[in-house]
């Protein structure tokens, strides 16, 4: 449990540092922010391993397939559904050999929006490749 808490605390510190550096216009802040948002994009659940990382808001949508019948369905029925969920504040989740009898692949929509905004910001603030020619006063 300490290990997970240490990783979560380190993630929060890195996110705070990235935010401050981004606010001050440093390239490192942009890079760290892009990395953190990219780490937050996938949400994966299987009976064998799962992964979820977020700082702030996490809103995910994806496909989930149940390996056992859902409640109220015939014993031979399996369910596949579009699933939606959200979390807030900060969290990291991983597990091995868990009891969830489903496979799910999701995308964190809030991380996707933030990542697209960061990439747009990077493109809109880039220095031109070729500086304009100096004008000579006559």
Residues 114 and 127: their CA atoms lie apart, in Å, by 22
Q: Where are the domains of the chain?
A: 2-124
- pLDDT, tens digit, for every residue of 59-97? 889 998 877 765 555 555 567 788 888 887 766 666 666
What pLDDT does 128 receive? 44
Q: Please give the torsion angle defined by the CA atoms of residues 50, 55, 56 and 58, in that order, rounded to the nearest 10 degrees.
A: -20
What pLDDT does 47 receive? 82
The residue among 107 and 98 whose pLDDT is bigger is 107
- pLDDT, tens digit, for every residue of 29-55? 999 999 999 999 998 888 888 888 888
Residues 84 and 59: their CA atoms lie apart, in Å, by 8
């Amino acid at each position: 449990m300490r290990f997970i808490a240490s990783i979560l605390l380190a993630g929060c510190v890195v996110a705070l540092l990235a935010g401050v550096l981004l606010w001050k216009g440093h390239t490192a802040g942009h890079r760290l922010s892009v990395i953190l948002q990219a780490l937050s994009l996938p949400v994966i659940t299987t009976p064998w391993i799962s992964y979820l990382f977020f700082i702030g808001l996490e809103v995910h949508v994806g496909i989930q397939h149940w390996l056992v019948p859902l409640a109220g369905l015939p014993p031979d029925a399996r369910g596949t559904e579009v699933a939606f969920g959200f979390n807030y504040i900060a969290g990291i989740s991983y597990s091995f050999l868990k009891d969830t009898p489903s496979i799910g692949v999701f995308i964190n929509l809030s991380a996707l929006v933030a990542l697209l905004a960061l990439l747009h910001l990077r493109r809109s603030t880039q220095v031109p490749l070729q500086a304009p020619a100096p004008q000579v006063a006559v």
